[in-house]
Structure 1
Amino acid sequence: MSRTTKDEEVPSQHHTEDVESQTMKPDLEAPKQGADRVAQMIGAQHIEVTEEDNKRLRRKTDKHILSILIWVYFLQILDKSVLGYGAVWGMREDTNLSGNEYSMVSSMAPIAQLVWLPFSSWLMVKIPHRIFMAGLVFGWGTAQACMAACTNYSGLLATRFLLGLFEAACLPLFSVMTSQWYRRAEQPMRVACWYGTNGLSTMFAAALSYGLGQINGSLASWRILFLFVGIMTVVTAPVVYWVIDNDIPSARFLTEHEKLQTIERLRANQTGTGSRDFKWSQAFEALIEPKTWLFIGMAICLNVTANVTNTFGPIIVGGFGFDKGVTSLLNIPFGAVQLIVIFPASYLAHRYRIKSAFLIALMLPVLAGAIMLYQLGRDNIPPLLAAYYMLAFLFAGNPLIVSWLISNIAGTTKKSVIMSLFNIGVSAGNIIGPLMFSSKDAPYYKPGLTKTMGVTGALIGVIILQLVNLMFLNKLQERRRVKNGKPAKIRDLSMEHRYVASPQDDENEGQLGQNAFNDLTDSKNDEFVYVY
């Protein structure tokens, strides 16, 4: 165990001055009613946290929290994406699917999410995370395994509905947990770590489907594939329950003093660390803010195109004239491009503390790839594959949008509601995406590609609108601070690459940081700074 004494040497004189100044300040006021659980734990204390402490606590959190998020999200994407490979290896023929029935089977999971997500925002607040996550994993793993037994259209619809129902809260839950355990500057790379498994799962699913497709037995290859990934998910559920922790106060991997230090290092976020009270006022606030609906618009636009590649990607590549085995293998580079792009994009957003500009930049190759697929003939294979792989740049956009969203929302209930609404947007995009493509348009799919180009252009427009909106909100916050006797502009310590003690105030500023754990929403906390 690393030492946690308060006598450790502080790594910089600047930081030493911050710590000394805070110890000379009077204690912050006691936590208010309805505050986070950690507010009751830390009370009015100021806990010393050095940069060495910050790194050590971050490593421990990565080991015990992030590692589980990465593995479970990998399984969630894997279970969702094997449907496309099942289609390549005979599922449509064995279950007698015709017309748009395959599209409807693909859309059934997001339809279930649309039905369940409003309720899941309440569950995320009320149910401890280790119980909630383990239950979700067991449920969707069982549904995936049961798909292997389906013999007709109705069976596929039913099992895909159950899979979507249990997967519904996955993205909102992971996003909320990331915001509750990490500083805002750390969130883009952490979201990238678990969301980046999109690429890994695509590569693994392609290789796995190819390998299992070589089995010539009484059980069809696609059934073996569904059974394998489903069972792998089911056995993960008890591991999740055993390893994950609900929140900082109950964290078994932290000592009592480390819990206080972990709370302190998150103070500058001004977003809190979680409350078990579902506050209807916060839910209403989430519904009426333009910021909410702009993020939902991004979710819809991005996932329309993303689901096209997940569901129809293998089929489109098969339309280039390859056999089943080669079609599966040619999707491995698509997953590799996702993985390669996600981490540099998230790092640059972290390094330069801006997400909107990099989001727009990522959409340009996607637009170019769709145009190339539209224009090129189907006999020119290398440029077609290059164009298809360019669509993978899209997947670097989702972690940036998610980290942008959770960095700009405060209040436990508000964040849970907005993340659920965001995932409703994801589900809507997943429903719309497959419906834009019809088998009668094969192998060119020009009507669907035209719509894909339009949706990508709309996404760029929504990103720009949200940027302008957040700039306006920061101006409003500055006016509120001046009205309350605080400086108009305050330094956002949560976005610093090195830990700086909070609050950072002087005799002219008054006390800052006293709202951090009161479970206030961003619009009710004048110290909240919106990030771009």
Structure 2
Amino acid sequence: MDNTVSKTGDGVSQHEHRTEDVEQLKHQGQNTARGADRAANLIGDQQIELTEEDNKRIRRKTDKRILSILIWVYFLQILDKSVLGYGAIFGLREDCNLTGDQYSMVSSVAAIAQLAWQPFSSWLIVKVPHRLLMPCLVLGWGIAQVCMAACHNYAGLLATRFLLGLFEAGCLPLFSVITSQWYRRAEQPMRVACWYGTNGLATMFAAAVSYGLGQIDGAIHSWQILFIFVGLITVLSAPLVYVVLDNDIPSARFLTEHEKLQAIERLRANQTGTGSRDFKWSQVWEALYEPKSWLFIGMAVCLNVTAAVTNTFGPIVISGFGFDSERSSLLNIPFGFVQLIVIFPASYLAHRFRIKSAFLAAILAPVLAGAVMLYVLGRDNVPPLLAAYYMLAFLFGGNPLIVSWMISNIAGTTKKSVIMSLYNAGSSAGNIIGPLLFNSRDAPEYKPGLTKVMGITCALLAIIGLQVVNLVVSNKMQERKRVANGKPRKIQDLSMEHRYTTAQNDGSGAHLGENAFLDMTDSQNDEFVYVY
């Protein structure tokens, strides 16, 4: 296959900005050049025949093996993170003598650890095989969760929660990168929803388990039993992750050799590759200077401020309505159910209509309305207060939309791992800020904190609009690059089609798709199309 791109004399002079690395990767027959995807060494210069039936078969196999592990491990991560709130209503604050803002700090320190660890996380995701990295992270935070049960003071809780956050730091960016390396862009919103949707399941499970374990009258406190129970489940899951997970498509044990080639081919239209083990500093700098990166990070901060409030203070806010600890746990089950039923329809609609920004903005309306209701209603009006609190759960439909929006718009293994780590850092910053907006002296109304939540939600809506404008401008720039390089101005984004379609059948040109596995970034690859 001819990998050269015809250029006019004017085209060459106008596009000196292409780096030497990109020119090397685009050199004729160099799909296996140093720095390209590992998949490039397997598929070489071939274009593999692939039918829609083949596409569905490989997707089903990938779902059974890869998606199932992502769902289970993300469920464990949310479960371990959320039980702190239930521990609080079962006496953790009193038993550990927490005063003032100490409980808020115990909650926030996990996010501080995640924030500090993100630069190293991005390097680990690129360099360490995922089959080794994920079980190590799972084992680490599971042990930290069990150790929390042995704490009897503020210092002990602070140390163990810090370690829990440290090991959980790589979870979201790792899962996002894995999803992008195994699935077509059209498939990604629903796959992200599947593993992120366990947020609601974990919330319901934690509420039910805390209620059940809270009935035990044993030698240790109920919150200690809860921490030991969920921590041991996590620790025992680490070996399972190692046995089931595969590193990438070239090393997939559940695919035949021919199916590996087909699995790679079906991702060609993504233009985002299947993963390289080379950590490229040029991609780091590109990630840092792009406005797109910082707008996504801004979304992460704003959205997770409110999410942190509900995770940490949700059970406490409900108990402020006048319920005892057991009933407060049970009344948080519907909150998790609302999360679950919002995440999947929102992600499906984003998949169906091939747009994420509009539905992301739409689900923020109930969140804003719920915060307003919590602010204005008296605390003796319990049914509307509960309805308002449950409306905040719509917020959890936002993260999977943002994550799938991000991984669809970022190419280059290093660049993607860096931006996803920065996104997780933004989430961590939101998780740090969120609990600090609420102080126990403002109970039970928490009006100052609710005012800030409303303002932050409005800011998130503004950032979504700015990102759409930014991506529209970026697509116009891509069109100009294609014209200068002798390619069509407009190309159909086949990765967003619901059925698998090859470039040949599309008729958009035989040369399109040759950059797909060269580990080029989205801005380096003129065939990349940004999605809204």
The alignment's TM-score, normalised by the length of structure 2, stands at 0.94
| 1:276-305 CA-partner distances (Å, limit 9, x unpaired) | 000000001000000000000000000000
Structure 1 spans left out of the alignment, 5+ residues: 1-26
Amino acid at match of 1:273: T
Query: What residue number does 2:24 align with?
Result: none
Report whether the alignment pairs 1:151 with 2:152.
Answer: yes
Question: What is the deviation of 1:505?
Answer: 6.2
Report whether the alignment pairs 1:306 with 2:314.
Answer: no
Alpha carbons 1:505, 1:511 under 8 Å: kept: no
Tell me, what secondary structure is at the counterpart of 1:515?
coil
- Partner Cα distance (1:151, 1:161) in 2: 16
Question: What is the deviation of 1:502?
Answer: 3.2
- Partner Cα distance (1:218, 1:308) in 2: 32
Amino acid at match of 1:155: G
Tell me, what secondary structure is at the counterpart of 1:249?
helix
Query: What residue number does 2:194 align with?
Result: 193
Question: What is the deviation of 1:70?
Answer: 0.1
Query: What residue number does 1:483 align with?
Result: 484
Report whether the alignment pairs 1:402 with 2:364.
Answer: no
Question: What is the deviation of 1:337?
Answer: 0.2
Amino acid at match of 2:220: L
Question: What is the deviation of 1:46?
Answer: 1.2
Query: What residue number does 1:236 align with?
Result: 237
Tell me, what secondary structure is at the counterpart of 1:486?
coil
Amino acid at match of 1:526: D
Query: What residue number does 2:118 align with?
Result: 117
| 1:204-239 CA-partner distances (Å, limit 9, x unpaired) | 000000000000111100000000000000000000
- Partner Cα distance (2:146, 2:348) in 1: 36
Query: What residue number does 1:523 align with?
Result: 523
Alpha carbons 1:89, 1:324 under 8 Å: kept: yes
Question: What is the deviation of 1:412?
Answer: 0.2
Query: What residue number does 2:133 align with?
Result: 132
| 1:165-198 CA-partner distances (Å, limit 9, x unpaired) | 0000000000000000000000000000000000
Alpha carbons 1:505, 1:512 under 8 Å: kept: no
Alpha carbons 1:199, 1:337 under 8 Å: kept: yes
Question: In the comparison of the two structures, how many residue pairs are matched?
Answer: 505
Query: What residue number does 2:213 align with?
Result: 212
- Partner Cα distance (1:265, 1:397) in 2: 28
Alpha carbons 1:29, 1:514 under 8 Å: kept: no
- Partner Cα distance (1:319, 1:174) in 2: 36
Amino acid at match of 1:268: A
Alpha carbons 2:31, 2:518 under 8 Å: kept: no
- Partner Cα distance (2:503, 2:29) in 1: 12
- Matches for 1:35-46 after TM superposition, within 5 Å: 35-46=36-47
Query: What residue number does 2:16 align with?
Result: none
Identify if the C-alpha distance between structure 1 residues 196 and 521 changes in structure 2 by more than 3 Å, giving closer, same or farther: same
Alpha carbons 2:305, 2:434 under 8 Å: kept: yes
- Partner Cα distance (1:443, 1:219) in 2: 30
Question: What is the deviation of 1:501?
Answer: 1.4
Alpha carbons 1:295, 1:422 under 8 Å: kept: yes
Moved more, 441-450 or 28-37: 28-37
Query: What residue number does 2:249 align with?
Result: 248
| 1:119-148 CA-partner distances (Å, limit 9, x unpaired) | 110011000001000000000000000000
- Matches for 1:70-89 after TM superposition, within 5 Å: 70-89=71-90
Question: What is the deviation of 1:28?
Answer: 7.4
Alignment identity in percent?
77
Alpha carbons 1:503, 1:512 under 8 Å: kept: no
Question: What is the deviation of 1:115?
Answer: 1.0
Tell me, what secondary structure is at the counterpart of 2:269?
helix
Query: What residue number does 1:324 align with?
Result: 325
Tell me, what secondary structure is at the counterpart of 1:512?
coil
Question: What is the deviation of 1:34?
Answer: 1.4
- Partner Cα distance (1:518, 1:353) in 2: 26
Moved >4 Å (runs of 4+): 503-506
Tell me, what secondary structure is at the counterpart of 1:163?
helix
Query: What residue number does 1:184 align with?
Result: 185
| 1:20-53 CA-partner distances (Å, limit 9, x unpaired) | xxxxxxx976443311010011001111111001
Structure 2 spans left out of the alignment, 5+ residues: 1-27
Tell me, what secondary structure is at the counterpart of 1:180?
helix
Alpha carbons 1:414, 1:521 under 8 Å: kept: yes
Alpha carbons 1:28, 1:514 under 8 Å: kept: no
- Partner Cα distance (2:290, 2:189) in 1: 23
Question: What is the deviation of 1:487?
Answer: 0.5
Amino acid at match of 1:483: A
Moved more, 224-233 or 29-38: 29-38
Alpha carbons 1:112, 1:165 under 8 Å: kept: yes
- Partner Cα distance (2:111, 2:506) in 1: 47
Tell me, what secondary structure is at the counterpart of 1:529?
coil
Amino acid at match of 1:312: F
C-alpha RMSD of the superposition: 1.0
- Partner Cα distance (1:291, 1:452) in 2: 24
- Partner Cα distance (1:186, 1:436) in 2: 37
Query: What residue number does 1:368 align with?
Result: 369
Amino acid at match of 1:444: E
- Partner Cα distance (2:365, 2:488) in 1: 39
- Partner Cα distance (1:284, 1:174) in 2: 23
- Partner Cα distance (1:282, 1:503) in 2: 31
- Partner Cα distance (2:117, 2:144) in 1: 16
- Partner Cα distance (1:489, 1:106) in 2: 49
Identify if the C-alpha distance between structure 1 residues 323 and 505 changes in structure 2 by more than 3 Å, giving closer, same or farther: closer
| 1:344-366 CA-partner distances (Å, limit 9, x unpaired) | 00000000000000000000000
- Matches for 1:475-514 after TM superposition, within 5 Å: 475-502=476-503, 506=507, 509-514=509-514
